[in-house]
Amino acid sequence: MEPAPEKRLLHDLVDLAPAHARGSAALRFKGQDFTYAELRAASERAAAGLAALGVGAGDRVALYLGNRPEVIELALACSRLGALFIPLSPLLRARQLEHVLADSGARMLVTSENLLPHALQAAAGRHALRTLLVTDEVDTAAAPAGITLLRHADLHAHGVAPRVPLHDDAPAAILYTSGSTGRSKGVVLSHSNLVSGAAIVAGYLGNTADDRLLAALPLSFDYGLSQVTTAFHVGACAVLTNFSLAATALQELAAEKITGLAGVPTMWAHLVGAEWPREVATHLRYVTNSGGAFHATLIRHLRARLPQTRLFSMYGLTEAFRSTYLDPAQLEHRPGSIGKAIPEQEILVLRPDGSRCAVDEPGELVHCGSLVTLGYWGDAAATAQRFRPLPTAAGSARAGELAVWSGDVVRADAEGFLYFVARADQLIKTSGYRVSPSEIEDVVAEVDGVRESAAVGLPDLVLGQRVGLAVAGAQRDDTLVERIRKHCRMHLPLYMVPAEIHVVDQMPYNANGKPDRAALRQRLAREG
């Protein structure tokens, strides 16, 4: 048997699919299959269409869509041209979308009819956007001045795309993720990051061409996108869906005979409380959890419904894709552990001086290996702070290689199993998303009567953390809380809207005159 051809670029995952898989479904969406051969041909036509519109190597194309085949088709098309695709959550609203367009310099935005109002509002801002492409039938006269509005079908009316020579360390995608302060930052992933990550994860999950993976998490989330690339690496089928109702998702698990399912704690909390079709347990081979702690209660409920299914607890960060996993055989023996480094990567627990921590000594999780991404788009200072050469003091053979300092505090036991301790920065981790407090506070500041506000993460078994907000008002106003809540719902994604709003007479401050978030977090947790 000839060795399988080496997959180096993102589109190679489809172009070099195993021979026996080329006529098989690569994607399935709403009951329709798209074979590997069909997906390859569609992405080649789309690449030709993008090239005809002036998209070339290094250009950025933003994909503001839910989970649907066009996201994958256009990601592959960008890969063929050396352009970068930017998958964006459909939960974003105009102001977040406008920030991404301005920050990334995207020349094209692709969206759907239901998201078009937000896209049109964002497109009117100051940025490099020139083309708005809509996946549905719409009135193309609705575009703002200076923007061409086209339909997705228009892309397929062109010839052959130019062939662009690329190296696997070339940038392929930008994934936007919140930083500890300010607005979201774009993490730049190379072709190698995406392809290597798919191979590594498929290896330890034991994926084969017979698998059917439900891609229910947003494709804007590295963990969600991974479901598709992992499936493609082995010639399996990724079934695209948009998680909303637990009952609907469970029906899809049964009807599509899903063998692998990835989720975050919020998703599991909804699923375990629903009625499971009996047949799901007969074909669901594994589930994976990331984006927050895999609590014992969730594990117990899943075990009751899926006695033969393997449960993987995993940890990752967008800046390094996937870092650790816990072998399912260890799940009950090591409660709370995030496991050990995934194959081919090295995970270290380091002190501030770069030396290794002792057993059970808390330190910062540092990731080194092929999955370390290319840094933050257009932000050299933030890149230099988070991406640094591994110091000699770490005692690693990889000393000198670029590593990612996660900002997360962990500890390692005597056998090297890792346990999450805390977040070193102020990020709020809710529903699998990383949220910057200042982005919430900027929106709240627009509400008349707000003098000062501070957002913090409060412990929550379902969400991981829920958003708590303390507000100091210029004067007592019984309508303030409701006006803040209404304003946030209009201008923030739902996961960023504060779950609790507390009006305080005086904000607690630290020695630097800034809001004392630790004290505030304790106070809000007590007040509930």
Residue with tokens 């607890």: 313
Is the pTM above the cut of 0.75? yes
Backbone dihedral angles phi then psi of residue 42, each to the nearest 5 degrees: -65, -40
Q: Which amino acid is at 31?
A: G
Of 188, 238, 237, 242, the closest CA to residue 380 belongs to 188
Of 514, 483, 345, 527, the closest CA to residue 418 belongs to 345
Backbone dihedral angles phi then psi of residue 319, each to the nearest 5 degrees: -65, -15
Instruction: Mention the CATH class of domain 35-166.
Output: alpha beta
Tens-binned pLDDT, residue by residue, of the chain (528 aa): 445 678 899 999 999 988 777 889 999 999 999 999 999 999 999 999 999 999 999 999 999 999 999 999 999 999 999 999 999 999 999 999 999 999 999 999 999 999 999 999 998 887 789 999 999 887 767 777 888 899 998 888 778 888 899 999 999 999 998 655 567 899 999 999 999 999 999 999 999 999 999 999 999 999 999 999 999 999 999 999 999 889 999 999 999 999 999 998 888 988 988 999 999 999 999 999 998 778 788 898 999 999 999 999 999 999 998 899 999 999 989 988 999 999 999 999 999 999 999 999 999 999 999 999 999 999 999 999 999 999 999 999 999 999 999 999 899 999 999 998 877 677 788 988 878 787 898 899 899 888 888 999 999 988 889 999 999 876 778 899 999 999 999 999 999 999 999 999 888 876 556 788 888 988 998 887
Tell me how crowded residue 273 is: count the other CB atoms within 10 A of its CB.
Answer: 10
CATH 3.30.300.30 fits 428-527, yes or no: yes
| Residues of each domain in the chain carrying CATH 3.30.300.30 | 428-527
Of 121, 62, 64, the closest CA to residue 90 belongs to 64
| Residues of each domain in the chain carrying CATH 3.40.50.980 | 35-166
